[in-house]
Chains A and B, each alone.
Chain A
Amino acid sequence: MDEAATRRRRRLIYGGLVGFLLVLPLLAEAAGQGFYISFATRVLILALAASSLNLILGYGGLVSFGHAAYVGIGGYVVGIAFVHAGDGTPILGLLPGGTDALVLLAAAMAVSGLVAAVIGAICLRTRGVAFIMITLAFAQMLFFFLVSLRRYNGEDGIAVWQRSTLPGPLDLNEPVQFYYLVLGLLLALLYGLNRLVASRFGRALRAARDNEGRAQALGFSTFRYQLTAFVLAGAVAGLAGALLVNATGFVAPSYLHWTRSGDLIVMVVLGGMGTIAGPTLGAAALMGMEEFLPELIDALHDGAGDYWKIVLGPLLIVIVLFARRGLAGVIEAAAGAGALRLPRLIPRRPGQPPRRRRTRR
C-alpha cells in the first residue's frame, strides 16, 4: 500500500466534500431549491454539536448520554436574552437582554461550558455504565427544570422570531450568509480539533482512553484532562445550540430531551468515533435519512414513510459490526484500497523504478 497515494486520495475526497459544501448554496439557488440551504445549515449546526461530543466520546472514551443538555442551554441563552430584550426587563434582575449575535454566541459557550464544568466534575468520578447514567440524569434534571420555568413558557419554550444581529452588512436572516457563517465555524472547529487531538493534551486524553490506569501510573492526572475536554465539548455544544435557535426560530426543553442526546451519539457512531470528519458525515447521514427516507419509502409503499427508522436500525448494526470507524472509516478504506484511481499529478522521472507495493501486515 502506498501511503503517500492514500494520503493524496484521502485529501482529494475530503477536499471534494468541502468544495461541495462551499458551492452548495449556489447549486441550491440555481436549482431553485432554497430550502436545501437552510436544511444544510441545520445539518452543519448538528455536525458542530456531534463533533464536540466526539471529543469526549471518540477521543476520551467517555460515553456522555447528556450532551444535548449543553446544546439546549446554549439555545436558552439566546431565547432568554431575546425574551428580556423584548420586554426590557433584566435577566435575573442583573443582566440586560439582547440580540447581539457575537455577545450571545460567546455567552452561550460560556454558560454551557460552566454548566459542563460543574456536571463534569461530578460525573467524571464515575466510569462506564455509571457515567452514562449520571450524565443522562443531569441532562434530565435540566430538562425538567426548564419545563418548570413558567416565565419562559415551560414545555412550549420560546418563539425566537427575530434572529440575532451581526455587525455591519452581515445578516443572519440571509440564509446564504447564515450558511457560510456556520460552515466557517464548523471548518474552524474541525481544524482546531485536528490540532487538539494530536497535541500533548490530545495524546494524554487518548492515552487515558486506551488505558487509564497505565496513564495514571505514568503520571497523568487523567481527571484534569478529561474535565477540560468535557468543558470544551460543552462550550462548543452551547455554540451549536445558539446557532440552532437562530436556524429554527424557537427553543424549548425538547432541545435537551434524552432522545436528542441519543441522536448525537448515533451521529458520532454512524460517522466514526474518534475521527475528525466522522460526526459531520454522521450528522449528514442521519438528518439526510430523516429528511428524505420517509418520502422515498412512501413512494414505494404509501403510508410506510413513518417507519423510516426500520432502515436506520439495521444500518447502525451493520456499521457497529463491520465498520468500527463508521462512514469516515469507509472513506479511509476507499482511499487506502485505491478505489479511486487517480492519474499521477507529477509524472515519474524516466529511469525511476516503479514504487514497490508493500504488503499488508
Chain B
Amino acid sequence: MTADAVLRAQGLTKRYGGLVANDRIDLDVRAGEIHAVIGPNGAGKTTLIGQLTGAVRANAGRVHLAGRDVTALSPARRARLGLARSFQITNVFAGFSALENVAVAAQARAGHSFRFWAPADRDADLNARAADALAQVGLGRLADRPAGALAHGQKRRLEIAMALVQAPRVVLLDEPMAGTGPDEAADLLALLGQLKGRLAMLLVEHDMDAVFSLADRITVLVEGRVISAGAPEAIRRDPAVRAAYLGTDEAAPGAAGAR
C-alpha cells in the first residue's frame, strides 16, 4: 500500500447469507495508473465495484478515497468526493441529449443544485465543459442527439465523457468494452490509451487484449479472493493465474494477441 493511492480498499468482505461473494479484498489505485481487475464470471468483480462506489454495503473492510475513509458514505457523497464510474450495462439519461447528459454530470460535481431560477441548459460554463468532454471522446458532432438514439459504442463513449467532465480523482470503468463490436472496441481502447496517465482508473474488463495493453497493474479475483496481483508480465507468468483463471495454455491472454 503506497501513500499516493487515490483509492484503497482494505479487507472488503461481502456475504450474501452463507455465500461469500468477496473475501478480504485488498486493492489500491495510484494516481495516474490503470489498475485492472480480472476474473472469471462470479469472481466478485461486480460486488467489488458496488462496494467501492457505495451501492453495496460491505460486511467488513474499509474504503479510502484520497486518504479519506468513505466506507460509511452514500454513492452520491463518494461521487462528489471524486469517484466517477461507468456502468457495465449502458446507463445514460435516454431522454436527455448527449450534451445534456454530460452537462448534468458536470452539474452534479459543481456543488449543490438548489438553484431554482436560471435555465440549466443555457448555463455557459456547464455546457462548455460538457462540449469539451464530448469532443475528447469524439462525440462532439452528436451533442444534440438524444442519448437514447446513439449507437451502442457511442453510448459507451458518452459514459466516459460523463466521467471525464467530473474531473474525478479516480474512475471505475465497469466493462467499458461490453457489447461492442471489434471496431468500436478498438476505438474505445485507443480512447482509454489516450486518457492513460492523466486519470487514475480501475478497469474491470473481460477483453484481455484491452487489459494487458492498458493496465499498469492487474489484480486477479477468483471466487471472491485475490489470487494474484502485480504487473501484467508477472500476472501472465503466474502459474496460479493460469491454472485458476486462464485455464489451458491456448486461452492464455495476449499469448498470441488473439481473442
A198 touches B92 (CB 8 A): no
- Indicate whether B114 reaches chain A with its CB closer than 8 angstroms: yes
Chain A 194-235 interface residues, beta-carbon cutoff 8 Å to B:
195-196, 198-204, 207, 210-211, 213-222, 225, 228
Nearest CB on B from A193, distance (A): 10
User: In the complex, A210→B105 CA distance in Å?
Assistant: 14
- Indicate whether B42 reaches chain A with its CB closer than 8 angstroms: no
Partner of B76, one of A198, A210, A220: A220
A214 touches B113 (CB 8 A): no
Q: Which residues of A contact B109 (CB under 8 A)?
A: 218-219
A207 touches B74 (CB 8 A): no
A199 touches B117 (CB 8 A): yes
B117 touches A207 (CB 8 A): no
Chain B 108-144 interface residues, beta-carbon cutoff 8 Å to A:
108-109, 113-121, 123
Q: Which residues of B contact A341 (CB under 8 A)?
A: none
The interface centre, meaning the residue of A196, A199, A225 with most chain B CB atoms within 10 A of its CB, is A199
- Indicate whether B85 reaches chain A with its CB closer than 8 angstroms: yes
Q: Which residues of A contact B79 (CB under 8 A)?
A: 216-219
- Indicate whether B68 reaches chain A with its CB closer than 8 angstroms: no
B116 touches A201 (CB 8 A): yes
User: In the complex, A213→B92 CA distance in Å?
Assistant: 10
The interface centre, meaning the residue of A214, A219, A222 with most chain B CB atoms within 10 A of its CB, is A219
User: In the complex, A207→B105 CA distance in Å?
Assistant: 10
Nearest CB on B from A141, distance (A): 30
Chain B 75-106 interface residues, beta-carbon cutoff 8 Å to A:
75-77, 79-80, 85, 87, 91-96, 100, 104-105
A211 touches B120 (CB 8 A): no
- Indicate whether A151 reaches chain B with its CB closer than 8 angstroms: no
B113 touches A204 (CB 8 A): yes
The interface centre, meaning the residue of B79, B104, B114 with most chain A CB atoms within 10 A of its CB, is B104
Q: Which residues of A contact B113 (CB under 8 A)?
A: 200-201, 203-204, 220, 225
User: In the complex, A225→B109 CA distance in Å?
Assistant: 15
- Indicate whether A360 reaches chain B with its CB closer than 8 angstroms: no
B115 touches A200 (CB 8 A): yes
- Indicate whether B166 reaches chain A with its CB closer than 8 angstroms: yes
A222 touches B76 (CB 8 A): yes
Q: Which residues of A contact B96 (CB under 8 A)?
A: 207, 210
User: In the complex, A207→B108 CA distance in Å?
Assistant: 10
- Indicate whether A344 reaches chain B with its CB closer than 8 angstroms: no
User: In the complex, A219→B162 CA distance in Å?
Assistant: 12
A204 touches B94 (CB 8 A): no
B108 touches A202 (CB 8 A): no
- Indicate whether A150 reaches chain B with its CB closer than 8 angstroms: no
B91 touches A219 (CB 8 A): no
CB < 8 Å A-B pair total: 92
- Indicate whether A361 reaches chain B with its CB closer than 8 angstroms: yes
User: In the complex, A217→B116 CA distance in Å?
Assistant: 22
A200 touches B118 (CB 8 A): yes
A207 touches B115 (CB 8 A): no
Residue of A nearest to B79 (CB): A219
Q: Which residues of B contact A221 (CB under 8 A)?
A: 74, 76-77
User: In the complex, A196→B120 CA distance in Å?
Assistant: 10
- Indicate whether B107 reaches chain A with its CB closer than 8 angstroms: yes
Residue of B nearest to A196 (CB): B116
The interface centre, meaning the residue of B85, B95, B119 with most chain A CB atoms within 10 A of its CB, is B119
B93 touches A207 (CB 8 A): yes
- Indicate whether B53 reaches chain A with its CB closer than 8 angstroms: yes
- Indicate whether B149 reaches chain A with its CB closer than 8 angstroms: yes
Partner of B85, one of A200, A207, A217, A361: A217
The interface centre, meaning the residue of A196, A200, A361 with most chain B CB atoms within 10 A of its CB, is A200
Nearest CB on A from B231, distance (A): 30
Partner of A203, one of B94, B107, B117, B162: B107
Nearest CB on A from B156, distance (A): 14
User: In the complex, A176→B113 CA distance in Å?
Assistant: 40
A216 touches B75 (CB 8 A): yes
Chain B 47-83 interface residues, beta-carbon cutoff 8 Å to A:
53, 55, 74-77, 79-80
User: In the complex, A215→B95 CA distance in Å?
Assistant: 14
Partner of A201, one of B104, B115, B121: B115
Q: Which residues of A contact B108 (CB under 8 A)?
A: 204, 215, 218-220
Residue of A nearest to B105 (CB): A218
B120 touches A199 (CB 8 A): yes
User: In the complex, A99→B95 CA distance in Å?
Assistant: 48
User: In the complex, A198→B115 CA distance in Å?
Assistant: 10
A198 touches B80 (CB 8 A): no
B104 touches A207 (CB 8 A): yes
Nearest CB on A from B230, distance (A): 30
Q: Which residues of B contact A219 (CB under 8 A)?
A: 76-77, 79-80, 108-109, 166
A210 touches B85 (CB 8 A): no
Partner of B91, one of A203, A213, A225, A228: A213
User: In the complex, A220→B112 CA distance in Å?
Assistant: 8
Q: Which residues of B contact A220 (CB under 8 A)?
A: 76, 108, 113
Partner of A199, one of B74, B76, B119: B119
What are some 10 contacts across the A-B interface (CB < 8 A)? A195-B116, A199-B120, A201-B116, A203-B120, A204-B108, A204-B113, A207-B93, A218-B104, A220-B108, A221-B76
Taking Cβ atoms with an 8 Å cutoff, the residues of B that contact A are 53, 55, 74-77, 79-80, 85, 87, 91-96, 100, 104-105, 107-109, 113-121, 123, 149, 162, 166
Q: Told that A217-B91, A218-B166 touch, could you supply 17 new A-B pairs with CB distance under 8 A?
A: A195-B116, A199-B116, A199-B117, A201-B116, A203-B120, A211-B94, A213-B55, A214-B93, A216-B74, A217-B53, A218-B76, A218-B162, A219-B80, A219-B108, A221-B76, A221-B77, A225-B113
